[in-house]
Amino acid sequence: MEPNKPLTFYSEPLPGVDTAELQGRLIVVEGPDAVGRSTQISRLRSWLEHEGHAVLDTGMARSALAGKGIQQAKEGNTLGAITMTLFYATDFADRLENEIIPALRAGFVVLTDRYIFSLMARAIARGEDRTWIEKVSGVALVPHAVYYLRADVKDLVSRVVVGRGYFDYWESGMDMRFGSDMYDSFVRYQTRLIRALDRMAKRYQFTVIDASQHPDAIFEELRQHIGQLFGTRGRGRRAGG
């Protein structure tokens, strides 16, 4: 989307929302699990606030309505694929209506750690109907920019092993048993997830960032791109450095 173009919805607009009133910027950082999105969001927020912008950062499973319920359900490892998708869709809809839209109306920069694209990619990776999940996700606003941190599975495995030291049940797609153990299932599930995001990249006009780079290089690339949205071309003090 062009930086100064009014925001629009992918499908039917939410009742009572006048998009002409949404004067903020909606910026999405997408990518598979363990790719480093949260680190970049934190650094971008610090930089944008230093540049004088009010910033809201948000992400999946953080809504007041569904966030805690998602975490509790995941602890039991009992969520079915469609139930999990609907849970996350509810979480997104609640954050959209009660966090994202009010912040945009107030002129905030909204940085979101994943968006409907991860919701759709997860569903598609689990074999759910593509048309159905696209319709469910159509309630979303079209972001001003989507930055896709793309990495190969081998890079994700390295990040998990070196950083966290263990594979997460849900990030490994163990609910669907893609492999005989956590490692095999992680590789197969994340491969499917990346394939789904790759297919979305052109359709939804993602800016693809090579996530195999050093985090500092990724941040500089993101900062240059985002700076262009505000006409600053990434000027200003380094965040976190």
pTM check: above 0.75: yes
- Whether the per-residue pLDDT at 2 is higher than 70: the answer is no
- With b for 16 or more beta-carbon neighbours within 10 A and e for fewer, the 179-199 pattern comes to beebeebbbbbbbbbbebbee
- With b for 16 or more beta-carbon neighbours within 10 A and e for fewer, the 24-55 pattern comes to bbbbbbbbbbbbbbeebbbbbbbbbeebebeb
- Cα separation, 178 vs 192, in Å, equals 10
Looking at residues 147-151, what average pLDDT do you find? Answer: 98
Q: How confident is the model at residue 1 (pLDDT cuts 50, 70, 90)?
A: low
Residue 191 sits in a domain of what CATH number?
3.40.50.300
- Cα separation, 27 vs 206, in Å, equals 11
Lowest mean pLDDT among 4-13, 88-97, 186-195: 4-13
pLDDT for 80: 83
Spacing of C-alpha 136 from chain mean position: 16
Q: In this structure, what DSSP letter does residue 135 have?
A: H
- The answer as to whether 135 is a domain residue is yes
What percent of the chain is modeled with pLDDT above 70? 93
Looking at residues 132-137, what average pLDDT do you find? Answer: 95
- Cα separation, 55 vs 52, in Å, equals 9
Lowest mean pLDDT among 57-61, 69-73, 206-210: 69-73
Position 120: which residue type? M
Coil, strand, or helix at residue 125? helix
- The answer as to whether 10 is a domain residue is no
- Tell me which H or E stretch contains 224: helix 215-229
Mean pLDDT over each residue of the chain, to the nearest integer: 92
Looking at residues 93-112, what average pLDDT do you find? Answer: 98
- The answer as to whether 126 is a domain residue is yes
Looking at residues 71-91, what average pLDDT do you find? Answer: 87
- The answer as to whether 168 is a domain residue is yes
- The answer as to whether 235 is a domain residue is no
pLDDT tens readout for residues 161-173? 998 899 999 999 9
Q: In this structure, what DSSP letter does residue 55 have?
A: E
Coil, strand, or helix at residue 149? strand
Q: How confident is the model at residue 74 (pLDDT cuts 50, 70, 90)?
A: confident
- The answer as to whether 237 is a domain residue is no
Q: How confident is the model at residue 76 (pLDDT cuts 50, 70, 90)?
A: confident
- The answer as to whether 6 is a domain residue is no
How many domains in the chain?
1
CB within 8 A of 6, min separation 6: which ones?
Answer: 19, 20, 22
- Cα separation, 103 vs 23, in Å, equals 9
The whole domain housing 76 covers 25-229
- The answer as to whether 9 is a domain residue is no
